[in-house]
């Protein structure tokens, strides 16, 4: 119905899946603490084990390699640290390399001091400059400690895929460590920690239809691990203290199961995205789709309209009953210049609108979006004509 809201902001958060809701309701009925040895505790622990198994299948590892936490931001702060252990032996990381278009949770550098962080440039499509990576690693003083690269699998604003495997090969050749932020790729791309060449993978529950406040740090093995961010009672094999969020973890696990089963539907989402972008360009030939020439997530489109501020367009879409983003939703609703567009060398003053689709969207939804865009674009053209006449 025309008066119903249409949600087109899945990269910010995906609506809670029915399967996740059902798993959470079931978990609410479990009274035990997962660390308790009695029957109630064992049932709670079993629910977490099932969720861990589901998340491990999502990224092709064993369940023992999954550490649950409160979200991707915590996972980033956990893994981005100078202090590691190989078994009981300390390992020091003295340099963190990050790509200029990373999510703010990664750009902040976790537990590294600002002077230990190097920001690497990207090309005009937002992809990491591999020569700059190799040069930075070549110049790194290995006697001070190892170097680490943190690189997203897919950009949260443009959807552009990073050359993760190529970057991992370069990092390996310099005996460095590799952390991959797979938050936007999970459920949209087949994930394999081994194939990506990652030492660690960062995941978020609410990006795949699980509850907010859930996430995971996935390791390539069980020997090399960061010194814990949260110390406590030894939960998560001592890697993350605090009683586990049983209800949230159960929902995360259920969403992970759905994500694995739904990868076959990605091509249908891509067809909808392509249909939408073709319609946008027909209505506004001067529209710019950022990163369109690069390999992107199937569900994501990030575009600018000359003469129309992104926040103005976002408000206009909202008034038409459509939820879209003016960039990424990671700053408490703050709308400002996109650091991604700045790094790409694009005109960041206007900003850009992000439309991110889900598996439940239809051709009718795309047509409704295009109808709203037609109205908004007509106002833009009228204003530009008035300004030109003046």
Question: Which tokens is 249 given?
Answer: 């973890």
Question: What is the rounded CA–CA span in Å between residue 218 and residue 231?
Answer: 18
Q: Cβ–Cβ contacts within 10 Å for residue 384, how many?
A: 14
**Catalytically active residues, by annotation:** 330
- CA-wise closest residue to 326 among 342, 309, 346, 340: 309
């Amino acid at each position: 119905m025309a008066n119903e809201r249409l949600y087109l902001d899945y990269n910010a958060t995906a609506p809670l899946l029915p399967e996740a809701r059902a798993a959470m309701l079931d978990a609410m009925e479990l009274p035990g603490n997962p660390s308790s040895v009695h029957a109630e505790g064992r049932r709670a622990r079993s629910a977490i084990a099932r969720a861990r198994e589901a998340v491990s299948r999502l990224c092709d590892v064993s369940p023992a390699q999954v550490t649950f936490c409160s979200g991707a931001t915590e996972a980033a702060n956990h893994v981005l640290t100078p202090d590691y252990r190989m078994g009981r032996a300390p390992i020091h990381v003295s340099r963190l390399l990050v790509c200029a278009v990373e999510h703010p949770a990664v750009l902040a550098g976790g537990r590294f001091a600002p002077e230990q962080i190097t920001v690497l440039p990207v090309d005009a499509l937002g992809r990491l400059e591999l020569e700059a990576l190799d040069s930075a690693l070549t110049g790194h003083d290995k006697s001070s400690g190892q170097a680490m690269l943190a690189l997203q699998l897919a950009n949260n604003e443009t959807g552009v895929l990073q050359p993760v495997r190529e970057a991992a090969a370069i990092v390996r050749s310099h005996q460095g460590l590799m952390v991959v932020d797979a938050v936007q790729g999970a459920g949209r791309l087949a994930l394999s920690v081994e194939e990506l060449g990652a030492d660690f993978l960062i995941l978020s529950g609410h990006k795949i239809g699980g509850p907010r406040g859930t996430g995971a740090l996935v390791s390539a093995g069980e020997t090399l691990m960061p010194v814990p961010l949260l110390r406590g009672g030894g939960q998560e094999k001592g890697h993350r203290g605090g009683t586990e969020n049983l209800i949230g973890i159960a929902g995360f696990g259920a969403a992970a199961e759905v994500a694995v089963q739904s990868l076959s539907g990605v091509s249908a989402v891509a067809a909808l995205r392509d249909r939408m972008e073709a319609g946008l360009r027909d209505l506004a030939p001067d529209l710019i789709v950022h990163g369109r020439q690069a390999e992107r997530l199937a569900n994501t489109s990030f575009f600018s309209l000359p003469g129309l501020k992104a926040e103005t367009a976002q408000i206009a879409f909202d008034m038409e009953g459509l939820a879209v983003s003016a960039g990424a939703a990671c700053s408490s609703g703050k709308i400002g210049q996109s650091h991604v567009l700045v790094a790409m060398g694009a005109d960041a003053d206007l900003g850009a609108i992000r439309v991110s689709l889900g598996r439940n969207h239809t051709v009718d939804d795309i047509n409704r979006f295009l109808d709203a865009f037609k109205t908004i674009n007509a106002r833009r053209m009228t204003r530009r004509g008035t300004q030109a006449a003046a």
